[in-house]
Amino acid sequence: MPVRAGQATRLWIRDPLAILAEDAGGGLVVEGTRIAERVPAGAAPSAPVDETFEAGRHVVIPGLVNTHHHFFQTLTRAHPRAINKPLFPWLRALYGVWDRITPEAFRLASRLAYTELLLSGCTTAGDHHYLFPKGLEDAVDVEVEEARAIGIRAVVTRGSMSLSDRDGGLPPACLTQDDDAILADSERVLNLFHDPRPGAMVQVGLAPCSPFNVTKRLMRESARLAETHDCRLHTHLGETLDEDAYCLALFGQRPVDYLEEVGWLGPRTWLAHGIHFNDDEVRRLGAAGVGICHCPTSNMTLASGRCRTCDLERAGSPVGLGVDGSASNDSSNLMEGVRHALMINRLTYGAEAVTHLDALRWASEGSARCLGRGDIGRIADGFEADLALFTLDELRFSGAHDPLAALVLCGAHRADRVMVAGTWRVVDGHPVGLDAMRLREEHGRLALSLFGGA
């Protein structure tokens, strides 16, 4: 059927093997950037379509939403200085390495992280970038450029560190900036890139790194900027017992009390990790609507502890998932993170308390809520057409009876097709318009030349 000029093409993703949506056994129709309708099993779309994609081999889920990462860390995976260490020693080991990151290396690190995430079924990539050594002052600009080139939806948080080891913080001075420089650049990138509208492809948040790396003034001023620009606030909090001890020693209060004092205890905020909260803090965070990004793989790697996901969710906090940095996860695979979230939370709460559907929900709708997005994370009429399609052709899936459960329990880790805003960005397991092997060679060569002798 011919398409009139200016008319959005209607694509029917037809009769999937399984789909994570209600009343959609016959698939769904994508029109422009959005889902136009769900098709019940055995039915046809309510209006003619222009194209049909036969999805009988595919399990269709909402595009996954990553709410915490550090792209630059793809350059220092499995680094000998840092393996087999908990958080604070791990950080101190790598701070002395990360000051060597060049603009070229950072661009490749961002491109590689976006591509890895996309191939794992992730359609919205959140990153927390907090390193701005000399030469990387335009890091946020680079991340936005790379996201637009690849076609992935991005939430880039302008991170920061202003307390060096000379001031009682952890990082060396060469990795920090002063508060005024940070605030000026925060306003610059918000004015340039932040789009608060539904359907936005790029959004910017503000993300002072953690209580032990920034001043209270920076936290308060960032909260004021976020109100002005209608953007989100993000930081690490409650990740380790060392952090609790640090806050008590420096501020005379626990991390959640600190968060409230600086004006961050509200629904605009989402936190990375959120492990070491007591019962009263869980209640307060939930009542305030503070989101929590659960990072199961990183938390297990660094032995940081277990996030109280179910308790936080019951209290009212949105719970999402993040891969966290590739130097503490050593992967940027969000589908792998879904499986890890299921396993660690079953160990915490019991085999019947957490299902594969809970883990998938955290990685999609829950993550979208952390980011304040009501337009992504679900397969529903009017939502953005962000989709991940997996096949069950590998040996690991043979004998599986429930296709959706098999994705998680049998360890799916690479999508066959990924759609972002109605456009295919992964086809037959390969990123569209990008040479992944060349990227691997260039990124790997730079990583070894910059950090191999450290």
**φ and ψ of 426, to 5 deg:** -130, 130
Q: Where on the phi/psi map is residue 116: left (φ > 0), alpha (ψ -120 to 50), or beta?
A: alpha
CATH number of 64-370: 3.20.20.140
pTM of the model: 0.97
Q: What is the mean pLDDT of residues 221-228?
A: 98
Q: Residue 212's closest CA among 260, 165, 178?
A: 165
Domain 10-62+378-431 in CATH 2.30.40.10: yes
Domain with CATH 2.30.40.10 in the chain: 10-62+378-431
Would you state the pLDDT for residue 270? 98
d(CA 262, CA 96): 30
The pair of three-digit structure tokens given for residue 129, joined into one six-digit string: 């970038």
Amino acid occupying residue 387: L
User: Does the pLDDT of residue 363 top 50, yes or no?
Assistant: yes
d(CA 175, CA 381): 46
Yes or no: say if 287 and 312 are a contact pair by the CB < 8 Å rule.
Answer: no
The count of C-alpha atoms lying within 13 angstroms of the C-alpha of 432, restricted to the half-sphere facing its C-beta, is: 14
CA 45, chain centre distance (Å):
33
- What residues are paired with 125 via a beta bridge? 66, 154
Q: What is the pLDDT of residues 388-398, one digit of tens each?
A: 999 999 999 99
Q: In sequence order, which ranges of 378-435 are alpha helices (DSSP H)?
A: 403-409
Q: In sequence order, which ranges of 1-129 are alpha helices (DSSP H)?
A: 87-98, 103-119
Q: Residue 24's closest CA among 45, 44, 46, 39?
A: 39
User: Does the pLDDT of residue 4 top 60, yes or no?
Assistant: no
Q: What is the pLDDT of residues 278-295, one digit of tens each?
A: 999 999 999 999 999 999
**φ and ψ of 139, to 5 deg:** -60, -40
Amino acid occupying residue 392: L
Q: What is the mean pLDDT of residues 63-69?
A: 98
Would you state the pLDDT for residue 113? 98
